[in-house]
Amino acid sequence: MAPLLKLSRAIDAVTGFIGRSVSWLILVAVLVSAGNATIRKVFDTSSNAWLELQWYLYGTVFMLAAAYTLQRNEHVRIDIVMSNFSKKVRDWIDLLGHIFFLLPFCLIMIWLGWPFMLKSMASGEVSVNAGGLVLWPAKSMVFFGFALLTAQAFSEIIKRIAVIQGLIDEPNEKHDLPPTVEELESAADLDERRKV
């Protein structure tokens, strides 16, 4: 398991670097949006390229930061339901969900995204909007985003197995769900026994 945990740490490092790096594209998107709005109001002119650039930047952040979001355990989940289960049950739900739902979905998206990207690159596809941008950079983000998410899914599976086996502590303790009522009561009982 040690080599797999080492691989998981390497994947986490790459995902973390990419996630933190692309977050700066939000600032670029805001500046492009503000610049475009200012030029449109002051000079009464606009460009589809600037509008499309905003969309491309947002799409890039969304696709490439998805893996980092998963790593940080900040993805959307149904906390109301999950908080009713014990930590062990939540770990198993996460493991099985990653294996049977997340991983197959990501692999299908990679399989579909590869020809989608290649066809766009080979044809030199350009936006149908006047003055629009080439499309292959935006379409390639679908492939690369899901490739990165697949790698992070493998990392999460490795970590979840290690947590279940008791080999490592919860990697996202501060991001995990709050303890259940049973876990709080158990901790309170333990504190009471220690005082006696």
pLDDT digits (tens, 9 = 90+) for 47-89: 888 888 888 999 999 999 999 999 988 877 666 777 788 888 8
The structure tokens 């350009």 sit at 126
By residue count, the chain amounts to 196
- Between CA 104 and CA 95 the distance in angstroms is 13
For the whole model, what pTM was predicted? 0.78
Q: How far apart are CA 196 and CA 193, in angstroms?
A: 5
pLDDT averaged over every residue in the chain: 85
3-state secondary structure of 134: strand
Confidence of residue 176 (pLDDT cuts 50, 70, 90): very low
Q: Helix 2-22 vs helix 24-43: angle between axes, to the nearest 10 degrees? A: 20
CA distance 12 to 76: 19
- List the alpha helices (DSSP H) in 23-102: 24-43, 48-71, 79-82, 87-97
Q: Looking at mean pLDDT, say which of 86-90, 93-97, 108-112, 160-164 comes out highest.
A: 108-112
Handedness of CA 54, 60, 65, 66 (dihedral sign): positive
